[in-house]
Structure 1
């Protein structure tokens, strides 16, 4: 039986040029590009191969000492490179915290900056501002010391209760300071030097030597 092949049907036995063109078209597909190792993969493989060769060649005598020194230097260089690429985890975490929310408002200042702003407000008699800023400084300070996290959604009293569990000796002062903050911030009651002192007392209670172990 005679079978006629149309012009658009590829030959069953392609010649060399046709086969090479098919291979190039196949390898140009995205699936093959995605399977190629990345630069990071190649670097990691090179480091792995280096250590594998280093410890399987089993040098002896004076060479063994030099191999150990080289291995130690390589490890140190890798650690230093990782430090500069990714940075200190805790420092990065604190940077993210400082740029976040604090009791419903965006607040990017550190505890030290908030304290200075609160002291300046108190010095000019702006007690509403001073009370609010000082309580924020108290909360941000405990967050920076990894005692209590003040993430999104935290309220003054939920923060005070959490901090009081970590520092029982300061629990009452923290609740009193949270009340002062809520009175001024949400109930619109006028601030005063007495309310400001309540927040200062709470801050002092959380930084006393007796609670130093809570900062670990």
Structure 2
């Protein structure tokens, strides 16, 4: 007979369904937003591996010669690891130096991007949802002639141009683009809170009016 669990006044729940409910709950992104990134986990594993090598080489032989040999070998390995990390950082910088255009050449509307963003959000695909919501913001600003349509515009350029036209929202635009960069380029894990913050920014910008030429409201 399958064991059951009893919760308050509700019906008893079998142990296997209860375990599945707990697993689904703990898999939600809100419980993992502070988890280390993939690159950070790799660095932690390398550090543990180096510590193990150090103790292995310095403990073998029981003499000064064995200890010095272990240190030399460890330094060589460390140099290789540092070179690999440096190459990785250089690769990230090169990618950051040439960000891709925020909007594709295909003609789309702001509502198209909002609908796509909501579908991604409903499926828990937060990086894609965040990107599409920022695209919705970009297209909406173009549609309302707050920024001129310009192929190849990057997210950072959007924040700078729109922030000039909408100075009251400049800081929020910069924060939204930083969120996008961290998630889409930096490998950070997106979540519902980040997406909702960008959606709220989208709503506020839709009601915003640009500063007229000359800066007089």
- Class of the TM-score when normalised by the shorter of the 2 chains: 0.3 to 0.5
Q: Which has the larger radius of gyration?
A: 1
Give the TM-score, by structure 1 length: 0.48
Bigger relative contact order (CA 8 A; separation at least 6): 2
